[in-house]
Structure 1
């Protein structure tokens, strides 16, 4: 069942097409990754979904309701964490968390205390004294303390150290286990890879790839390190082989996944002594799209 959906979503600022026909769908109990470089349209899409911006054209629905006209009602079921949190400087972190929970109709709970402990946050300090990382913690504790059905997270771990990133990842997986849905916009590809069921890549306001990680990996290349008893002639001429170079007596190259079987059959005739394979990552896919690596 779809929790969130956009169809041919467009947003123009004058002549600038910030969004040019974005189609995404987040299902119930799913963690959906939304990735792309700065200026690609990630935050604009999220602002349309949150009812902060009105779309120029297309549809944006959450729980079957219009993201713009039903925004107030929808926000009762949504928790949002931006990448740069601004808080009231004279309130303490604990007061801000309580305010956010109360605005959503909830009460202080044991969950709040548990999250404060896990994120190692001092809730008694004034927000003006907090570092960027601590401001993020306040927003994350407030979000995960709520009984939201959908979490919209825009670069939520910005400013967090690796230990706190791990706590965040645990919270996302706990929300998923409870049947909640998560839309995660992040540039930390290892985080997306670890957490997300499906991913959409946005570039210049358009979705250029979407699907499960298994779906997308067929587009990436496997890195191989190879040592053989005999020299391998014409390896660089084989279909699907890219970026061949020699390092410390071994051949290092990339192979298109769909050609891996053919390449392995070819090199096996020269007496394989050692072979190391590095599986393709989301980073590889990302780089191929954004650094113009072709062929």
Structure 2
């Protein structure tokens, strides 16, 4: 990954009449980076992507891809990108294979060895009519067509909707393959475990505003680490240690087991205290992306309720 910015979105706004769908969206995606874009339904994810795709004209701010305005230069920009929506509609009377070939032709490309490789990986029966396909198979068609292209920037909006876990894994591997090739990926998904496995950085959007941006490690300050420690003696004073929350201590045959949540920046202080004790077992579980996401939204909702 380089520092070259491929997608640059600055203070993006979008109004629909009196309703402001996007208030302040700022994010950058670098070359060779997989960037996650997360938020609940109605937060503004899809509207942001439609602006980036040049489908909607922004009301304020700016959005450029490869240095070109995404709306004014949409035709030029689209020659270098690939897009997969979360709900794919196909020509019902064409076979899956015909749809893939048509999509590739519309992108200025042809069916190639990479296409055949992807069809085999996703185990898609390309002989069937598109009208017979399940949601998952329709999704496979769009993914195969997009991944067959030599695009520089890929936009995936809920791309694994309808796929089984095996095909989700195949998709994840393909995204990492794109990254290895120096391609850039913008991934919008509600499956937080999926995002966590793939992204280098991510943005959290809430009510039309990007409220946090960074790597998962940088965003761990939004939540706490789960700690379980077993010692030969009681851990006196632990409840007074700054950053310790929800402490539960049990004693069995002279052995104390303490379980609690710890603010991430206080881990060094905890380790200093543990160094004076006979530790029998220690488990430290960093926050997952879901923990980060839910903690942020719970805190934001609590603050709004108090206000």
> Which residue of structure 2 aligns with residue 233 of structure 1?
236
Does the alignment pair 1:91 with 2:94? yes
Deviation above 6 Å: which 4+ runs of structure 1?
Answer: none
2: distance between equivalents of 1:31 and 1:63? 16
Retained in 2: the 8 A contact 1:231–1:270? no
**Structure 1 Cα separation of the partners of residues 208 and 285 of structure 2:** 32
The alignment status of 1:65 with 2:54, answered yes or no, reads no
Of 280, 286, 300, the match for 1:279: 286
CA distance in 2 between counterparts of 1:238 and 1:213 reads 26
SS at structure 1 position matched to 2:154? strand
Q: Matched residues in 2 for 1:248 and 1:115: separation?
A: 56
- Equivalent residue for 1:254? 261
Corresponding residue pairs, total: 295
**Equivalents in 1 of 2:185, 2:147: separation in Å?**
11
Provide the TM-score with structure 1 as the length reference.
0.95
Matched, 1:22 2:25: yes
TM-score by length of 2: 0.91
The Cα RMSD (Å) is: 1.8
**In the TM superposition, what are the counterparts of 1:142-291 in structure 2 within 5 Å?**
142-246=145-249, 250-291=257-298
1:8 equivalent in alignment to 2:11: yes
Query: How far 1:204 moved relative to its partner?
Result: 1.0
Deviation by residue 1:132-182 (Cα, 9 ceiling, x = unmatched): 111110010010011111100001011111110111011111111111110
Q: 1:248 offset after TM fit, Å?
A: 8.6
Q: Tell me, yes or no, if the aligned pair for 2:36 and 2:203 is still in contact at 8 Å.
A: yes
**Contact residue 223 and residue 296 of structure 2 kept, 8 A:** no
SS of residue in 2 equivalent to 1:5: strand
Matched, 1:118 2:118: no
- 1:245-268 CA distance string (max 9 Å, x none): 347963221111111111232344
* 1:34 to 1:269, Cα distance in 2 relative to 1, 3 A: same
Counterparts of 2:18 and 2:228 in 1: how far apart (Å)? 49
Deviations 1:214-258 (A, max 9, x none): 322344321111222222234333210112234796322111111
Bigger mean CA offset, 260-269 vs 80-89: 260-269
What CA distance in whole angstroms lies between the structure 2 residues aligned with 1:133 and 1:117? 15
Of 28, 31, 34, which residue of structure 1 is paired with 2:37? 34
**Matched residue SS, 2:168:** helix
* C-alpha contact (below 8 Å) 1:219/1:257 kept by paired residues: no
